[in-house]
Structures are given as structure tokens and as C-alpha cells.
Amino acid sequence: MARPIIHHRTAEFESIVEQIRADLKQIFQTSGEVLVLASSGTGAMEGAVSNTLCRGDRVLVVNSGKFGERWEKICGAFGIEVEEITVEWGRAVDPALIRQKLDKNPSIRAVLMQASETSTGIKNPTAKIAAITRERDDVILIVDGITAVGVFPLPFDELGIDVLVAGSQKAFMLPPGLSFAAMSTKAWEFNKTSDLPKFYFDFKAAAKSADKNTTPWTPAVSLVRGLSQVLKMFVGEGLENMHKRHAVFSSATRSAFEAMEMELFTKDEPSPALSVAVAPPDIGAGPLIKTLKEDFGITVAGGQDQAKGKIFRVSHIGYIDRSDTVAVVSAVEQSLKKLGHGFDFGSGAEAAARIISENL
Amino acid sequence: MARPIIHHRTAEFESIVEQIRADLKQIFQTSGEVLVLASSGTGAMEGAVSNTLCRGDRVLVVNSGKFGERWEKICGAFGIEVEEITVEWGRAVDPALIRQKLDKNPSIRAVLMQASETSTGIKNPTAKIAAITRERDDVILIVDGITAVGVFPLPFDELGIDVLVAGSQKAFMLPPGLSFAAMSTKAWEFNKTSDLPKFYFDFKAAAKSADKNTTPWTPAVSLVRGLSQVLKMFVGEGLENMHKRHAVFSSATRSAFEAMEMELFTKDEPSPALSVAVAPPDIGAGPLIKTLKEDFGITVAGGQDQAKGKIFRVSHIGYIDRSDTVAVVSAVEQSLKKLGHGFDFGSGAEAAARIISENL
């Protein structure tokens, strides 16, 4: 990405875009177009709403954490009525609830959700929810896959998701500044009647330009170039191997935390994008996170809102190798020991290393 | 920009943003905030409209080239009525016309224009137009400064511009992917009643976050870091010297073209961002541009729409030094000679070199 900038209206750039389009289709597991936008993931989330819905429409938002709230705010800004399913933090949404809500409110036009909710570490049952929306011609499923695409299976065409959004800075291991959006045929049908204003995030304009291997507005050239390299790596590794890698790192980390007798914050099926544990209450998350940063140079995230000071979150996406995962677990052990917490020292690193060596 | 990505919710990143905010205020010549968005310039243009106007509002757009049309399309997408002043390509808008239109249509709420219109090379009289809108409490002036900010004087506070938009890939010499927007107090007053939907480009949210040296959505971290370096260079060089450099390169190039008896496409005051000449009709712009690219590795832009095949455009913004300017002129001379055009060979390079050495 540090190479000289090439102009975007050139054959050289167009051939990069052509390759990216093909590779992204593989990663999203779709035969349709995956749009590439110059924005953070939130921009693609806004586009998912503004390109499919109409003013005054009613939608159902799954609020299973911090990012569920974002769907509500976007819909609010565009004059869309929001019905909410609030899920206890650390739990996944129950698909039966979604079916009930849709049955009771036939005016609902879309279900909006997170495939992987980073604030709590859960994985929502996207496949089961897609099975419900897929039956209905008048309801689309809009999925935030920002920490899901490339991390665990989410086959777009096969499941029947209608809009799937991702961003460059998560599984794609790039700096932030690019976002992605796949649209189903059903979503494009919704697009025909959608009357919400959009210009920069006009998906129809983006699709039309993509057809010519370009973008309607000036693309983030250096990031697009970086993307073409990352996608080459992905295609080389293979989607299944990528998914497996995340699953093993996540399983190893959770087993390590359990071996250390720490409570997992994520009660339902966890997202392999990250592992979330409740810090030992005698220590608290704050001092643990501080020690990890200062003594080991390791950044783990704390909790937000109701989970603040209680939990810590370890990411498994990005340039992370098998030894990194053990290193993080060992740093957590050493930090806890330094902070005076009593536990079976070494049990965590041992558990993590065992699972990784047995599975990768 | 190739350094490791730092997380944006850290003290390190916040101190970078703090410095950027101070430096951008110097470059935009404003005491107010300059918002930094993760998008191309078109995103900030959309935000300029969606954050100040209301559905059904009437505006006046100065269409003096390709980018004037973009204002119209954005307004159209947001349900805003557009009154247009069409300016002959190569000419600047007459401020008297704007005054007439505003007097005749008191319902017009904004004038939208390009400070520098890249498709034709002209500089519109922003100061004179701002003097007209500044008198009126109910009209704001929205200026696309994408190829103007940092290139020639456009003092935001002093002139009384209300919204001024720029992008990272022009005078800021960065890859595309960041855009900027300054807002006047009057524009913020308009913002209070603005009912157009916005979320990703919500300027109020951006300003609130800027106050805390952060951004509401994930910023384009690598570009923001690059920006902090570029702004250090700018502050080191000084705004006046930056403006002078562009003015001299532009004057040198135009004098060179005149010495070679080429017609300048830009009839009114030219933008120092670029020089636009009509290619000798016996050669045409296409073969000239092709030869420059193939024999010299020099990229100059052709014309769009009605100017296609007729003109060529030489940029003066970016990493361009005094010898580069002479090199481009000389390459044009050598290409024209190779293509069989008869003229006083060497007169162009001589003229350019003389003006540069006398003025820089």
C-alpha cells in the first residue's frame, strides 16, 4: 500500500478491480456483485438501509449488543419505524422470536442483525433467521458481517441473506477505510421501490460502475491495492482454512480461560472472531487490560456500557498465528499472577497450545 | 502510511487527531472545526447538502463544468429543487448573474459552486460570490474546494464561505479516501432546521467527536496518519508559499503553451491547480496524450464530454517541483515534434524555466 499512487481511471487500476470482484465473490460465496465502497463499515450499513427501504417502513432490529443499536440509529435517521428485539448481553437471539414478530406484524419489511456481535462475543443464528426471511417475499434480511465475513461460514447465496456488509479492517486485515456490500436479487427488487435519498452510497451507481471495473466516485486507491494483495492471500489459503483457523484460535482461547477458571461472558454460541471473558472479580478488567498493555504490549479490548470494567475481549482476526494465541493467553496468566490472583498458573497456556497443536 | 496500524480508540491516535485539527484550521483559514471524513470528496459534498438543507428547498447551482453537474445530482437525490446557471466551458461565472438570480428568487437557500473547476481549468470568483451571499441571512454558500484548498487563497472565515469541502488526493498529496468539510456559524444555524436524512455523514456527530479528538465511525487510520505528516510539511512550507508555488507553476505552464502558439482552453482567470490547453488541431489531444504516456511516462488528462479529444490538462498539484514543470513542458514539445507539428521548438521549455527561475 506504500507503492506510488496510480490513477484510478487507468487500465492498470481496472484490472486490479476486476480481480478483486472475482475474489470477493468467492469470499462472500455469492455469484452476485460485492460492492466496494470508500468508507468505514458504518457507511455500508447506511447504504444497506437507504438502498432497500422506504420512508415510513417498519423493520425489526435484533439488538444483541452495541452494534445492534447502530442499526436502530441509522433507521431512525432515515425515518424508518423500528421494532426491537432486545437480547440479554452475552446471549444470541432466538429465531423463534423473529418468526413470531414477523407473523404478528406483516408490515415489517426487513430484519436487521449482527452475524457476530463484537461487544458481547456472540454469534447470532444467521442461517436459521435467513430460513425464516427467505420464505417471505416481502421481508429482506440485512446482516452486519463486519466481524463475520472471512471468519466463519456465512454463505450468502446458499443461506439466502439479502444484504451482507463487511469492512476492510477486520478479517480483511487492512487499515480501515473500505467497506463491502453484497445484495441478493430480492434486495435489488426492494431497491427498485426504495425512495430513501442516497448519492455517495447509491448501490445502483456502484454496481453499474463495478460492471466496468471502476467506481462511481474516486476510490481509496491505496486501500484497494492492499485489498487485492489480501484477497490473493485469502484465495491461496482457502475459505475453509480461514474459517478453521479462526475456529481453532477461538476454541483454544476459550478453553484456556476455562482452565484458568474464568467465566466466559458469551453464554450462547460464541463468534470465532473474538473470545470474551469476565475478568476475575478480585482483580477487575481495568487493571488486567492495563498490565497486558504496559508489560506485554498486548492490546485487548474492555467492555462497553453495562460490561465496562467487567470483561475483556481478545480478537482472533487479523495477522494472528498459532503462537500469538498462546502468547496472549500466557500474558493474561502472567498479568493475573502479578496482580495477585490465585489460579493454576500455566493451565491456560497449556490448554491453548494443546488444542492448537491437535487441530491445526 | 505503511507503519503498523494503531487502534483509533487510543491516546496515541487522539494526539494525532488533535494536531491535525489545529493544522487543518490553518490550511482552511478558519477558527472553526474542519471535519475529517472517511470518504472521497463526493461524500463531503453530499454531507454539505444533507447537513444544511431541507427537503423541497430551492438552491442555485453554478454549472461551469463536469463537477457543477455533480452538485445538481446530489441535490436531485435529496429532493432539492435546483436552479442552474450554465457557464460556457472555459469561462468563470459572472457574480452579477448570481445576484440577479437571488434577487429574483428569494426562496433560494444556497448557492453551490466549484472554486476551481477541474474539467475546464477555470477559477470561479468565490470571494465576489461570498460577498453576495454574506449579505443575506437566509442564503448560504457551499463551495467545492477539492482542487482549490491549499492551491490558492480561499480564506474561509474572511470571505464568509459557509461550507467548504476538500479531499485527500489533491493538494493534500495523499491517496484518496479522506474528505474534509468546514462549516460557518451560519451553516450550523441551517443545520438546526435541516431535515434531510444523514447518518454516516452527520456533521453534528463528527463535530461532537472531533471535540474529543476522535471520529464517530472508524476512521481511515493509515490515511489519517499520512495526513498528519502532510500537514506538518504544509505548516513548515507556509500557506503563502504553497499558494505561490502553484501560481508560479501554473503561470509558467500557460506561458509555455502560449510561446508554443497553443490556444489556452481557459478563457477567464485560470485555476492554479492545472493548466488546460487546446491541442494543435492538426494533431488532436488523443495522440499527444498517448505519446506523453508511452514515450515519457507522463500522465496528463484529456477532456471530458464536449472537450473530449480537443484539450489536455496538466496538473500542478501534488509532489511537483520546479524541474518537473519544465520537464512536462519539454515532453509536450518533444511529443508534438514527433507527431509532426511545426512550431518554435524549445520556446515552451525556455518560457517555463524563465518564469520559474524569476519567481521562485
Residue A299 sits in a domain of what CATH number?
3.90.1150.10
Express each pLDDT in B276-325 by its tens digit.
999 999 999 999 999 999 999 999 999 999 999 999 999 999 878 888 99
Q: Does A176 touch chain B (CB under 8 A)?
A: yes
Reduced to 3 states (helix: H, G, I; strand: E, B; else coil), residue B122 is strand
Based on the fold, state whether residues B265 and B313 are members of the same structural domain.
yes
Looking at residue A42, its pLDDT comes to: 96
> Would B2 be classed as within a structural domain?
no
User: With contact defined as beta carbons under 8 Å apart, do A109 and A140 qualify?
Assistant: yes
Based on the fold, state whether residues A263 and A145 are members of the same structural domain.
no
Express each pLDDT in B5-41 by its tens digit.
667 778 889 999 999 999 999 999 999 999 999 999 9
Looking at residue B321, its pLDDT comes to: 80
Based on the fold, state whether residues A226 and A348 are members of the same structural domain.
no
pLDDT higher than 80, residue B109: yes
> Would B287 be classed as within a structural domain?
yes
Facing B219 at nearest CB: one of A1, A176, A222: A176
Based on the fold, state whether residues B330 and B247 are members of the same structural domain.
yes
**CATH number of the structural domain spanning residue B24:** 3.40.640.10
Reduced to 3 states (helix: H, G, I; strand: E, B; else coil), residue A36 is strand
Q: Are strands B81-86 and B58-63 parallel, antiparallel or unpaired?
A: parallel
Q: Does A50 touch chain B (CB under 8 A)?
A: yes
Looking at residue A36, its pLDDT comes to: 97
Q: Are strands B81-86 and B301-302 parallel, antiparallel or unpaired?
A: unpaired
Residue ending a domain, among B237, B259, B289, is: B237
Looking at residue B3, its pLDDT comes to: 54
Q: Which residue of A has its CA nearest to B215?
A: A40
* Unique residue bearing C-alpha cell 482552511: B28
Based on the fold, state whether residues A38 and A166 are members of the same structural domain.
yes
Rounded-to-integer distance, Cα A197 and Cα B225, Å: 32
ipTM: 0.91
Of A72-86, A316-330, B338-352, the range with the lowest mean pLDDT is A316-330
Based on the fold, state whether residues B81 and B180 are members of the same structural domain.
yes
Q: Does A1 touch chain B (CB under 8 A)?
A: yes
Contacts of A40 in chain B (CB under 8 A): 38, 200, 217-220
Spell out the residues 6+ positions from residue A25 whose beta carbon is closer than 8 angstroms to its own.
Answer: A31, A32, A33, A34
Dihedral angle sign, alpha carbons of residues B149, B154, B156, B161: negative
> Would B1 be classed as within a structural domain?
no
Contacts of A78 in chain B (CB under 8 A): 197, 199
CB contact under 8 A, B223 and A169: no
Rounded-to-integer distance, Cα B33 and Cα B205, Å: 12
> Would A80 be classed as within a structural domain?
yes
Express each pLDDT in A114-169 by its tens digit.
999 999 999 999 999 999 999 999 999 999 999 999 999 999 999 999 999 999 98
Best of B201, B217, B290 to disrupt the A interface by mutation (most A CBs within 10 Å)? B217
- Rounded average pLDDT over B60-64: 97
Based on the fold, state whether residues B188 and B283 are members of the same structural domain.
no
Q: What percent of chain A has pLDDT over 90?
A: 92
Q: Is B126 exposed, middle or buried (0-12, 13-18, 19+ CB in 10 A)?
A: buried
Spell out the residues 6+ positions from residue B203 whose beta carbon is closer than 8 angstroms to its own.
Answer: B35, B47, B51, B181, B183, B191
Based on the fold, state whether residues B38 and B125 are members of the same structural domain.
yes
In chain B, which ranges are E strands? 34-37, 58-63, 81-86, 108-114, 116-117, 122-123, 140-144, 163-167, 179-183, 274-278, 301-302, 311-315
Based on the fold, state whether residues A220 and A303 are members of the same structural domain.
no
> Would A4 be classed as within a structural domain?
no
pLDDT higher than 90, residue B160: yes
Best of A49, A50, A218, A221 to disrupt the B interface by mutation (most B CBs within 10 Å)? A218
Based on the fold, state whether residues A248 and A231 are members of the same structural domain.
no
Q: Does A56 touch chain B (CB under 8 A)?
A: no
Cell of B285: 489531444
Residue ending a domain, among A237, A265, A281, is: A237
Chain B nearest CA to A220, separation (Å): 4
Averaged pLDDT of chain A: 95
Containing domain of residue A133, as a range? 11-237
Number of domains in chain B: 2
CA distances to B61, B70, B71, B129 from B74, in Å: 11, 6, 5, 21
> Would B3 be classed as within a structural domain?
no
Express each pLDDT in A196-255 by its tens digit.
999 999 999 999 999 999 999 999 999 999 999 999 999 999 999 999 999 999 999 999
User: With contact defined as beta carbons under 8 Å apart, do A180 and A3 qualify?
Assistant: no
Q: What percent of chain B has pLDDT over 70?
A: 98
Looking at residue B1, its pLDDT comes to: 46
Q: DSSP for B143-181, please give it.
A: EE-TTTTTTS---HHHHT-SEEEEETTTTT-S-S--EEE
Chain A nearest CA to B255, separation (Å): 27
Express each pLDDT in B163-196 by its tens digit.
999 999 888 889 999 999 999 999 999 999 999 9
CA distances to A196, A202, B138, B223 from B195, in Å: 13, 20, 16, 31
CB contact under 8 A, B200 and A42: yes
Rounded-to-integer distance, Cα A263 and Cα A292, Å: 19
Residue ending a domain, among B175, B210, B237, is: B237
Looking at residue A1, its pLDDT comes to: 46
Averaged pLDDT of chain B: 95
Q: Does A175 touch chain B (CB under 8 A)?
A: yes
Based on the fold, state whether residues B113 and B227 are members of the same structural domain.
yes
pLDDT higher than 70, residue B2: no
Based on the fold, state whether residues A144 and A85 are members of the same structural domain.
yes
> Would A3 be classed as within a structural domain?
no
> Would A1 be classed as within a structural domain?
no
